[in-house]
Amino acid sequence: MTRAAVAFVLALGGLALPAQSRLVTRYAAGVGGALDVMTFHGAGVEQFGFAGLDSVRVRRASQLTIPVALAASLGAGWRLDVTALHAMGQVTFDDARTGASRRVTLRGTSDVRLRATGRVLFDGLVATVGVNAPTGRTNLDDGEYSALRVLVAPALALGSTPVGTGPSGILGLVASRLMGPWTVALGGSFEHRGRYQPVAALTAGTDAADFRPGSVVRTSMAAERLVGAHRLNLGVAADVFREDRLRGVAEGATPGSQQVALATVQLGPVLTADAQLQVGSRRWREVVVYASSLWRAPYARDGITVTGSSGQYVEGGVRAARPLRRGTDIVLATAGRWHGGLASDQGLATRAVRAGDVTIGLRSSSGLLAVQPYVRAQAGVLGSRGGELPSRGFHGFTSGVVLQGRF
C-alpha cells in the first residue's frame, strides 16, 4: 500500500474498538475516493521501451482510487481488518519519433487483504496473521504494464494500483516491555510473497514484469516515551529477502514462445528508520512531526552485484488538526521527500526526486458517521542519479474524500 492507502486504513482503524457499551461499537466500515492528476513540465519525461515503442515522452498521469475497508472486534482481544480497492489510471505520452500523442489505461480491482491481530501466550505477545486473496490483476498487456511503470513511481506518491500479487500471507509476533521511561517492542515477521510481483521488480530496478519473488523476513524494534507533554516514538527495521527469479521469453525465441527462467536476483537488505513526535498542544490536536529514512542495498543478478542498484529515500513532514466547532476539525499537513534514485535503471519508478506537498482538509463527525474531504497540491523535480537524463519539473493535485461509519 502507498502512503494514502495506509492513512485511509489507519483512519478507519481508530473507529473499531472492543464493545463495552452501546456508545462504543464493534464494527467499522469506510469507503474513500481520490483523484490524482500529475503533469510533467517541458517536453515530458523520457522513457525507453514504453508501450511497444523505442522511446516516448510521458506528459501526464492520472489515477482514480476507491479504497474500501472493514474492521471488526472479534472479542478476546482480537481484531479483523479487510481492505481492497478499485483503481483506474491513465498515462498520456508522445511518441518521441513521430510526436503522436497516445494514452494507455490500467484499471481493475486489487487483491483483498485480510489481517487479524490479537494477543497470545497469556497476553505476552501480539500476533498478526495476514492473508492475501488473489483477486487483483495479474495479466497485463504491453500498454497496461507501461502505465504501471509510471503509476507506481515512488517519486510521484500516487495511490495504490489494482495489480495483484497472487496468493500470499504474513505471520508476525511482537513483544513489549517497560525499560525505565521507555516502552520497548521487538518484532519479527515472515512473509510469503505471491508469484506475481511487477511492482517490487520495478521499484527495485529489475527489468522483467514476470518477477517470481522469494519470501521476506523482517525484524524490527520500536521505543516510545513521554518527553514532558509530548510523546516520542522511534523505530528501526530490517528486511531480508530470499532469492527471486526473473522469467520471460528467451532472446531470439519465436513469437509466442513459452516463458523460461532468465535469471536469479538476490535483493539486498532494506533498512528503515522512523521518528515521530506527537506534540502536546491545548489549541491543536493530533500535532505530529515525523521523519523516515530507507536505504536499499544493491542487488545481485546471477551472483554479480549490479552497479548503482542501491538507493536512499528520505521523507518527513508535519500534520495537525485544529477544532473549528464541535464535531468539526480543520486538518493541515505538509511533507517533503528526497529520493536519490537508482543509477542502474532509468525508468520513472527509479528516478531521483526532490518534492513537497501541502494538504488541507476537514474532518466532521456526527454520531456514528464521519466525513473527511481534502485537497493536496505537490510539486517537485525529477532527476537521475547518474545525471544521464535531464531534470524535469512536475506538479500535481489530488482531491478526495473518506466516509466512515460505526455500527
Q: What is the pLDDT of residues 251-279, one digit of tens each?
A: 555 555 556 667 888 889 999 999 999 99
Q: How many CB atoms neighbour CB 38 within 10 A? A: 23
Instruction: Quote the pLDDT of residue 261.
Output: 66
**Residue 141: strand, helix, or coil:** coil
Q: Which ranges constitute the DSSP H helices of 137-218?
A: 142-151, 198-204
Q: What is the pLDDT of residues 327-355, one digit of tens each?
A: 899 999 999 999 999 888 878 888 999 99
What's the structural domain count of the chain? Answer: 1
* Torsion angle defined by CA atoms of residues 187, 190, 196 and 197, in that order, rounded to the nearest 10 degrees: 30
Q: Domain range spanning residue 394?
A: 3-406
**Residue 116: strand, helix, or coil:** strand
Read off the CATH number of the domain in which 102 is found.
2.40.160
Instruction: Quote the pLDDT of residue 396.
Output: 97
Residue from 392, 348, 395 nearest 145 by CA: 348
Per-residue pLDDT of the chain (407 residues; tens, 9 = 90+): 444 444 444 444 333 333 333 444 689 999 999 999 999 999 999 988 888 888 999 999 999 999 999 999 988 889 999 999 999 999 999 998 898 999 999 999 999 999 999 999 888 899 999 999 888 887 888 888 889 989 999 999 988 888 888 788 999 999 999 999 999 999 999 999 877 667 766 776 665 556 677 899 999 999 999 999 999 999 999 999 998 877 665 555 555 555 666 788 888 999 999 999 999 988 888 899 999 999 999 989 889 999 989 999 999 999 999 999 888 999 999 999 999 998 888 788 889 999 999 999 999 999 899 999 999 999 999 998 877 788 999 999 999 999 999 98
Cβ–Cβ under 8 Å, residues 72 and 78: no
Instruction: Quote the pLDDT of residue 255.
Output: 54
Instruction: Give the single-character DSSP code of 348.
Output: G
How many angstroms separate the CA atoms of 155 and 353, rounded? 6
- pTM score of the predicted model: 0.84
**Residue 152: strand, helix, or coil:** coil
State the amino acid at position 371 in one-letter form: V
Q: Is the dihedral of CA 297, 299, 303, 304 positive or negative?
A: negative
